[in-house]
């Protein structure tokens, strides 16, 4: 599975126009491209002009089809002068867990995108632990709608975590709960650098 995560900084004066266009593009991609398994749009909690796009495609062919799609061409043309900064990440999905049913986004549905630099010598151990973490979150806690792990295509020791929670209360409970505490204790010393973006799901 191919993952594209794009962190965008939108020009403030262009934000409304950008949101309108991405609200057209993301649903159309999901509708028209069967190989697009996920296309989420989230807005940073601290900066309304910071947007996260998170996309998953099920094959090389699906990704190539998307790159040639009329909708993407229109999106790129329409938003070219709206974006101040674009930070794309290209990865391969390692493991994913999701709830059986996913409600439509609410105005304050938390999204986390975490970039981790893992000690390369400890990467197999970290991946084993994070896969167990996903299972524990989905079976022992409530409110996690989607949780996946992917590895950067050019730097496999760079790991991306993407989480969607049903509510702020569910996420807060998770952060202070025993599952998270056990995981942090077990993975201590494996993470060399961590960067977290907290957002609210838009689409």
CATH number, domain with residue 187: 3.30.70.100
Q: Are 111 and 42 in contact (CB under 8 A)?
A: yes
Instruction: Tell me which residue range forms the domain holding 197.
Output: 2-201
C-alpha dihedral over 38, 39, 44, 47, to 10 degrees?
170
Which runs of E-coded beta strand occur in 45-190?
50-57, 83-98, 110-118, 144-152, 158-165
| Confidence at residue 89, expressed as pLDDT on a 0 to 100 scale | 97
| Confidence at residue 189, expressed as pLDDT on a 0 to 100 scale | 95
Question: What total of structural domains would you count in the chain?
Answer: 1
| Confidence at residue 108, expressed as pLDDT on a 0 to 100 scale | 84
Average pLDDT per run of 10 along the chain, which is 203 residues long? 96 97 96 95 95 96 95 96 96 92 84 97 96 95 95 96 94 94 96 94 84
Residue 45 sits at φ, ψ, to 5 deg, of -70, -30
Predicted TM-score (pTM) of the model is: 0.94
């Amino acid at each position: 599975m191919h993952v594209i995560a794009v962190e965008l900084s939108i020009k403030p004066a262009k934000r409304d126009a950008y949101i309108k266009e991405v609200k057209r593009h993301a649903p159309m991609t999901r509708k028209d491209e069967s190989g697009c398994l996920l296309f989420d749009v989230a807005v940073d909690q601290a900066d309304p002009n910071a947007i996260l796009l998170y996309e998953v495609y099920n094959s090389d062919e699906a990704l190539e089809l998307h790159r040639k799609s009329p909708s993407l061409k229109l999106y790129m043309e329409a938003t070219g002068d709206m974006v101040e900064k674009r930070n794309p990440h290209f990865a391969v999905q390692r493991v994913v867990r999701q709830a059986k049913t996913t409600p439509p986004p609410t105005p304050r549905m938390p999204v986390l995108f975490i970039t981790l630099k893992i000690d390369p010598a400890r990467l197999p151990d970290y991946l084993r632990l994070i896969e167990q973490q996903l299972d524990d979150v989905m079976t022992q806690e409530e409110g996690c709608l989607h949780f996946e792990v992917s590895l950067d295509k050019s730097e496999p020791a760079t790991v991306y975590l993407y989480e969607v929670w049903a509510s702020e209360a569910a996420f807060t409970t998770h952060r202070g709960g025993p599952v998270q505490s056990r995981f942090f204790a077990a993975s201590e010393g494996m993470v060399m650098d961590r960067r977290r973006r907290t957002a609210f799901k838009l689409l």
